[in-house]
Amino acid sequence: MEKLEVERVWEDLKSLKRINYSAMTLGKGSETPFIIEGNFHEVRLLGTKGSILIKGFVNFLDARGICDCYLELNGKFNVVDISNGQRVKLNYKNAQINFIISDNCSFQLF
């Protein structure tokens, strides 16, 4: 890629939204998850609990320290960080993930 093209891609990523649902309890079990849908530069779920479904494109999913959480990913994800998570159920069967960070995380994969 030429430098100009890389800069254009970076500008496109920076123009995407950032959302923050940190330290919240979301959803009511895997049957009725809280749904986050769209294209995002960053989704923050630091210390979040509950049931969450994310659909779309996410450049960086920051879910460090999530606890007692059902997390379903559906779409394309560049970086997913679930480090230091506790009792995380991660359903990624409908996701394309480039890089996942799971240091010190206790999780089940679906």
Domain boundaries, the chain: 3-109
Mean pLDDT of 7-26: 87
Q: What is the pTM of this model?
A: 0.88
How far is it, in rounded angstroms, from Cα 4 to Cα 20?
A: 31
DSSP string, 26-58: E-SSTTS-EEEEEEEEEEE-TT-EEEEEEEEEE
Residue % of the chain over a pLDDT of 70: 97
Question: Which secondary structure element, helix H or strand E, spans residue 11, and what is its range?
Answer: helix 3-15
Helices (H), 50-99: none
User: Max CA-CA distance within the chain?
Assistant: 47
Strand, coil or helix: 4:
helix
Is there a contact between 56 and 39 (Cβ–Cβ < 8 Å)? Answer: yes
State the residue for tokens 């996410």: 58
pLDDT of res. 109:
82
45-86: pLDDT as tens digits: 999 999 999 999 999 999 999 999 999 999 999 999 999 999
Strand, coil or helix: 7:
helix
